[in-house]
Amino acid sequence: MTRTSPRPFSVRRLPGFTAIAITCFVLLYAPIVTIVIYSFNAGDSVALWRGFSTKWYTVAAGNQIVQEATLRSLVIALWASGISTVLATMAALGTTRARNYRGRTLIYMLINQPLMVPEIVTAVALLIFFSSIKIATGYSGLGYLILAHSAFCIPFAYLPIRARMEGMDLALESAAADLYATPWQTFRRITLPLMAPGIAAGAMLAFVVSLDDVIITEFVKSAGQDTLPTYMLGQLRRAVTPEVNAISTALLALTVLLLTVFFILSGRNTARS
């Protein structure tokens, strides 16, 4: 009889691995699948199936409040992802272009602060901070929400950009300078094109994160500034209608689309360099 050498440890061979894995997936996806299915329910109840219909999508799309909230969500997400991506790009340039320097870890931590501080704390802090500005200036437009979203989107935009830059050979920029490119030409012709997939991925992630934020938005918004998620929350407090299912499903579809593009872009990151 031949004895095979012991196989390396693999969690796959633990007893019950398959059962646990299936349970996890069911827990994760069953509610989502349910919401998607019931968004096509013809009846008024969220729990009783009365046949297939796209009626609730029509209802939601026709609801003026939903339209306004959607538009507001998109405006905020566009601004916030734009602002945070520009800032994150500059931060990534600053933190990856130099050789190791002191305080680097501290700077990473400061940039990633929104990931670590509990969101409710940031929300309360922003509420107090902005209300004093509101009193001082009298301004109460969307600017506060855009600023708040920009702030917590920075780490989400920063991480993919930094990952992309760290995979980039510093010698490429030296090579460009060696071939008579001025610092600006080097940035335009070499650094920026190589960073582009990371920047696009970061922007996409920031957009998605802004789009479905509830807590900070709920605290910072002024009257009449509901975004899609806070509108839905308000609806749920009163009565659960399949309209909310329809909106959730639409939001889910958009998020899945953006995240797919994100993964394709960040996949290309590693394949290229």
Partner 1 sequence: MTHETAIAIRGVSKIFGPVETGLKALDNVSVDIRRNEFFTLLGPSGCGKTTLLRMIAGFETPTNGAIELDGTDITAEPPFRRPVNTVFQSYALFPHLTVAQNIAFGLEMLGRGKDEIKATTAEMLALVRMEAMAARLPAQLSGGQQQRVALARALAPRPSVLLLDEPLSALDLKLRKQMQIELKRMQQDTGITFVFVTHDQEEALTMSDRIAVMDAGHILQIGSPRDIYERPANRFVAGFIGESNFLDGTVLAAGPPARIALGGGQELSIDTADSPAAGQPVTLAVRPEYVLLGAFDAPGSLSGRITNLIYFGTDMHCHLTLDSGEELVARIPSGLSGKEGLETGAIAGVSFAPGALRIVGA
Residues engaged in binding partner 1 (CB under 8 A) = 169, 171-172, 174-182, 185, 189-190, 193-194, 272-273
DSSP label at 250? H
Q: How far is the CB of 118 from partner 1 (least distance, A)?
A: 41
Q: How far is the CB of 272 from partner 1 (least distance, A)?
A: 6
Of 174 and 260, nearer to partner 1 (C-beta) is 174
At closest approach, how far in Å is the CB of 162 from partner 1?
18
Rounded to the nearest whole angstrom, what is the least distance from the CB of residue 119 to partner 1 in the complex?
A: 38
For partner 1, the closer CB: 76 or 201: 201
> What is the smallest separation between the CB atom of 204 and partner 1, expressed in angstroms?
20
Burial string for 228-250 (b: 16+ CB within 10 Å, else e) reads: bbbbbeebeeeeebbbbbbbbbb
DSSP 3-state of 84: helix
Least gap, CB of 93 to partner 1 (angstroms): 18
Question: Least distance in Å: CB of 16 to partner 1?
Answer: 44
Degrees (nearest 5) of the Cα angle 179, 184, 187?
Answer: 80
